[in-house]
Amino acid sequence: PARDLITFSSADEIETITIYTMAGQLLEQQKPTAGKLNIAPLASGMYLLKVNLHSGKSETVKIIKE
């Protein structure tokens, strides 16, 4: 579980990270700063993060916010 920040690393540049509820509702889109994503404003619960890379690829991961 995470509280305030999530740290990302990738061989390819991360373009954007889109945050969705587990029901698929779009909450926000951010460009991570220095490989970190601020999730402090989110309520506790589970979320889906779609990570879009500069190469055009994307990956979706599930996170738990404390």
DSSP 33-53: BTTEEE-TTSPSEEEEEEEEE
Distance CA 41, CA 4 (A): 8
pLDDT tens digit string along 20-65? 999 999 999 998 888 899 999 999 999 999 999 999 999 999 999 9
Mean pLDDT of 4-16: 90
**Is it the case that residue 9 has pLDDT exceeding 90?**
no
Distance CA 31, CA 7 (A): 12
Single-letter code of the amino acid located at 57: K
Distance CA 7, CA 17 (A): 12
**Predicted pLDDT of residue 66:** 94
